[in-house]
Structure 1
Amino acid sequence: MEINLLDLGRRFRSEAGCIAYLRKEKESIGFTCRRCGSKKHYWNSRHISHDCKDCGHRLPLRVGTLLEGSKLPYRYWIFALYLMTMTKKGFSALELQRQLGHKRYEPIWAMMHKIRSLLGKAEQSKLIGDNVEMKNLVMTTIATTSKSQTSTNVLGEKQDSKKKREVRVIARVSEPHKPFKKQRRTTFKWVRFLVEKEEQQVVHLTFISPAARIAQRGILNARPFFLDTGFLRQFHPEDYERKLHWVVALSGNAKRIVNGIHHHVGEEYLQNYLDEFSYKTNHRNDGLESFSNVVKIAVSGNWWHNTRSLNGYTYSGPFPH
């Protein structure tokens, strides 16, 4: 099922429609009272909350969801979730600010980064199997520096210091088959990007199935945890484009979109932008289901308490603000 912008505008024409939709999604998941543990509740339309029938504890609709701590209208969140999951190329925060007609840039920017972190959470639990292609991608970001460390150019103008970051690109492809006319040997299925830490010399790719067959582009520090049982193959540089077609193509697409749409990407936010690109690519044919699944995760009530991945590395605990 597909839904375009006109359908979205008709369906969520007011705040009441957005509240009703999020309320329905949250009630379909269910919740337990934080105070007494009861599962009985009723809807309080005056305070836009679910109130416990036993102890009267009030749980506002935003609390425990992706919207917690935000004062932006519900319609902003619905439209942002739709545009960031259903569009092919994506939007910058400045463009979304213009489309929503909001005065300030910072709240829209923060909202989009919260959504990007959620998209990364939605993809991190998947286990990659079958055939895997890997390569390293170098991307230029803006280094995190203080005002005193900001450099100047020959004209005396202040400029941001740039920094190159290594990104691990992992693509799942189909089983190779005999080549036919106008048909590629493999088809693309799934992709993931991991921004590497500078101090981490060995990356343990624990989300790759032990039975996966890996083909990579000469990555010296890639040591899968299943190296004793997995199949690891490296290609000569002359065969990169031909043998590793998908991972090379996806790396180029990601680099063009991140650099072309989102200018001056900070090094601490690079993983979020790549998570958005990965989700769009992996769910490009899902239609409305892609949007609906993200909304369910956003209102699930425990999305930040699970084991999360920050800047490509797993840790447990709440997601830092």
Structure 2
Amino acid sequence: MNLLRFMEQFPDEESCRTDMRNVREKQVVICKKCKGKKQYWLKAKGQWQCADCGFRTTLRSGTMMENSKLPLRTWYIAMAFMTYSKKGVSAVELQRQLGHKRYDTVWSLMHRIREAMGKRDALYGLKGEIEFDEGYFEIATKEIVKKNLKRGRGSQKQSNVAVMAESTPLEDPATGKKSSHCRYFKMKVLTSHKAEEIDETVKGNFEETSIVFSDKSTSYVNISDYVEMHIMEKSGKETTATTLKWVHIAIANAKRTLLGIYHKIKGKYLQNYLDEFCYKLNRRYFGERLFDRLTIAIITPYWYINE
């Protein structure tokens, strides 16, 4: 769906409300009080009512839009711009497109959408052959005298990120040939270089039957305890170009994207920007369906899934 089709399909607030109701009902509306899934729509109230306990659920309740005072159409337009742009859009540019007076409001809106992207991808684990490595992303720092800044590993200017790529070759059923394309990516900001945090990252994102490839970092010594096989190779140009090819391509592309659009990113928000990058990268072949998939990510009741 391009912007012209978007404007035709969602010309006003009511069209967005109708679409959101349809999407929520397809995904099943869940009662917050009794967890019941039998709901019927009260047209006069614009709400669902639970058939079991009578509890009412508003259109935004349980979604990422809950407690937001912005019109639904503003949300839809923001989602459209964030999905139609291949690399991304800055809050300043989106503010200009929306004609909104407050930058902070638009900035917060975009981060809530990025949070939904991250929560959606968190529902899926990586499996098969997986590449695992770490990358260092530049972040904004406070005004510190340059001589007091560390260099290299542990620098205040950089944030350590675990990068994971499911690189299992896909076989074409018609030709029998295997594709070299990577399927899914994940990136997680790390707070330390300790093995314990790497272990938690592996447990939270890899299936036990996975085969993991990495370099010989001392932080990776326990990975084999959580997967079927862990293959370690000495870090070098050949390893970067072959064994860990996809994670390094992802790191390079992410750095180029973030630097080109956002310039300076505070460390505590880096995860949100990486979530957006991975969400769009993992759905790079969705085309016009990407907007529809993001709508589902926004309305999904993660409070219920995480219980």
TM-score interval for Structure 1 and Structure 2 normalised by the shorter chain: 0.7 to 0.9
- Residue of structure 2 equivalent to 1:5: 3
Q: Is the 8 A contact 1:215 1:235 kept in 2?
A: no
Using the alignment, how far apart are the partners of 2:55 and 2:208 within structure 1?
A: 47
SS of the residue corresponding to residue 221 of structure 1 reads helix
| Cα shift at 1:27 | 2.2
Higher helix proportion, which one?
Answer: 2
| More off after superposition, 82-91 vs 129-138 | 82-91
Compute the displacement of 1:200 (Å): 4.7
Corresponding residue for residue 167 of structure 2:
173
Which whole-Å CA distance do the structure 1 matches of 2:20 and 2:267 have between them? Answer: 33
> Residue 191 in 1 paired to residue 189 in 2?
no
Kindly state the Cα deviation for residue 78 of structure 1 after the two structures are TM-superposed.
1.0
Greater shift after overlay, 212-221 or 163-172? 212-221
After the TM superposition, which of the residue ranges 47-56 and 203-212 deviates more from structure 2? 47-56
The amino acid across from 2:58 in the alignment is P
Deviations 1:3-35 (A, max 9, x none): 111101110011111011001112223335455
Q: Which runs of 5+ in 2 are unaligned?
A: 148-154, 172-176
1:310 is matched with which residue?
none
Distance 1:58 1:227 in 2: 43
Partner of 1:319: none
Q: Establish whether residue 87 from structure 1 lines up as the match of residue 81 from structure 2.
A: no
d(CA) in 2 for partners of 1:236 and 1:64?
Answer: 46
1:34-55 per-position Cα deviation (integer Å, ceiling 9, x unaligned): 557683433335x543345787
111-120 or 36-45, which deviates more: 36-45
- Alpha-carbon distance between aligned partners in 2 of 1:291 and 1:127, rounded to the nearest angstrom: 22
Match status 1:121 vs 2:115: no
Contact in 2 for aligned 1:76/1:100 (Cα 8 Å)? yes
Instruction: Report the Cα offset of residue 231 of structure 1.
Output: 2.9
Compare 117-126 and 269-278 and name the one that shifted more.
117-126
Secondary structure at the counterpart of residue 42 of structure 2: strand
Secondary structure of the 1:106 match is helix
Q: Which residue of 2 aligns with 1:108?
A: 106
Q: Is the CA contact (8 Å cut-off) linking 2:131 and 2:247 kept in structure 1? A: yes
SS at match of 1:233: strand
Residue equivalent to 2:206: 208
Q: Is it true that 1:258 corresponds to 2:261 in the alignment?
A: no
Instruction: For 2:30 and 2:292, locate their aligned partners in 1 and report how far apart those are by CA, in whole Å.
Output: 23
Q: Which amino acid aligns with 1:237?
A: G
Over the aligned positions, Cα root-mean-square deviation in angstroms equals: 3.0
CA shift in 2, pair 1:305/1:112, >3 Å: farther
SS in structure 2 opposite 1:174? coil
Secondary structure of 1:210's partner?
coil
Corresponding residue number in structure 2 for 1:180: none
Q: Deviations over 1:267-297 (max 9, x none)?
A: 1111110011001111010123332232123
Q: Indicate the percent of aligned positions where both proteins have the same amino acid.
A: 30
TM-score, with normalisation over the residues of structure 2? 0.82
Equivalence for 2:151: none
Matched position secondary structure for 1:188: coil
Give the gaps of 5 or more residues in structure 1. Answer: 155-160, 178-182, 308-315, 317-321
Cα distance in 2 for partners of 1:283, 1:208 equals 19
TM-score by length of 1: 0.79
1:58 CA drift (Å)? 4.1
Instruction: State the 1:242 CA deviation.
Output: 2.1
Tell whether the 8 Å contact from 1:170 to 1:193 is kept in structure 2 after alignment. Answer: yes
